[in-house]
Amino acid sequence: MEAPELQQLMSTVSDYLGLAKEHYAWWNLEGNDDTDELRLLDVQSLGERVDGLLGRREAPAGYIGDVISLTLWCLSLEAPPLKCFQICAGRWIRNMGFRRATCMVLGDTWQWMIKRLARAPAPRQVCDELLMACCLAPLYFASMRHSISGEVSISDASPWAPGGCISTGLSSLGRALGEAIGNQDYSPAEEELGVFSLFDGIGGLRRAFHLLGVKPAVFFAVEVDKDALRVAGSIFPDIVALGDIKSVDAACVRALRLRHPRIRRGLVGGGSPCQGLSGLNAAGRGLADPRSALAYEMERVQDLVVEAWPEVDWRRFAENVVISAADDLAEYNRL
């Protein structure tokens, strides 16, 4: 925002407050102008400082220094009362709330305060956490905002053992494929091939058909993630989105049959979420994980499709990551 615009906004009220004042006037009610919050570049309110120019919240000057002094005083006592630690930890959490990534520091401290029944010296791990909170003081004023990178991806298979990778750029083949996707011209297929892609994601199966030079007469994408559907639909506008797999019932499939009676060959399948099955997840529960257990919903929908088009030569498939548990692998192969 340019300086002239900032000057125009100074000491004005927000659009929401302006609308509220209009409502008060319409109902002939008295408001309290003394409580109005005016636009300012720098505000201290409710124990925090707000920088309107940078859009940052932080503790007011001197506050963190006071909390550090309080912490060191608590740790210097031989057996301080529990209330001291509760106040100290509470004030640190207030600071950490401005930069939430630092909140992970206090873990054992909370557990110790919950279980503590009488005055006693703080254990070593509690002292370490409180001293770490003091050492992180510069971070409470630092900017932790980062732009989203299109080159880095992180696996969500496990909160305990995540994996990450970075792209160093497209190869010549990748650039050629990207240009080809952007220049595609789609026309209705004349074939009688129907495809049900379960857990379709960003349209990987539809892309595979394109690479093979096959245009299905109809391609149904069963996918709950709206952003993934938007990405797939922007590249392959012929995709028919069906939403959540749990919402695909017999009535839905029969209605699709009425709209597409000419299907003679078909493919139905997909891969359920991998979090419970992935070897990257140290606490994986296999098919007992409700996300990966959606594989049984996949089997249910496959049966509904085959029943609705009995004359069609349907081919089923199921895919997933490498499954380490033998029982889960055998069950998934059965699907």
CA distance linking residue 31 with residue 34, whole number of Å: 9
CA distance linking residue 240 with residue 243, whole number of Å: 9
Q: Are 85 and 79 in contact (CB under 8 A)?
A: no
Q: What tens digit of pLDDT does each residue of 315-332 get?
A: 999 888 888 788 888 888
The predicted structure's pLDDT at residue 146: 64
Q: Which two tokens stand for residue 85?
A: 């630690």
Q: Are 292 and 275 in contact (CB under 8 A)?
A: yes
The predicted structure's pLDDT at residue 188: 47
CA distance linking residue 335 with residue 319, whole number of Å: 10
57 sits in which H/E element: strand 56-58
Span 191-334 CATH architecture? 3-Layer(aba) Sandwich (3.40)
CA 256 from centre of chain: 32
**Per-domain residue ranges of the chain:** 3-57, 63-140, 191-334
State the pairing for strand pair 265-270/313-318.
Answer: parallel
Q: Which span out of 16-30, 167-181, 213-227 was modeled with the highest average pLDDT? A: 213-227
Q: What tens digit of pLDDT does each residue of 150-159 get?
A: 666 666 555 5
Q: What tens digit of pLDDT does each residue of 86-111 get?
A: 888 888 888 887 777 787 888 888 88
Q: Which two tokens stand for residue 232?
A: 């797939």
251 sits in which H/E element: helix 250-259
Q: Which residues, listed in sequence order, are joined to residue 152 by a DSSP beta bridge? A: 166
Q: Which two tokens stand for residue 195?
A: 């495809």
> In one letter, which amino acid is 59?
A
Asked if pLDDT for residue 247 goes beyond 90, the answer is yes
Alpha-carbon distances of 246 from 3, 220, 309, rounded to whole Å: 53, 15, 20
Q: What tens digit of pLDDT does each residue of 9-28 get?
A: 777 777 777 787 787 788 77
Nearest in space to 320 (alpha carbons), one of 268, 279, 259? 279
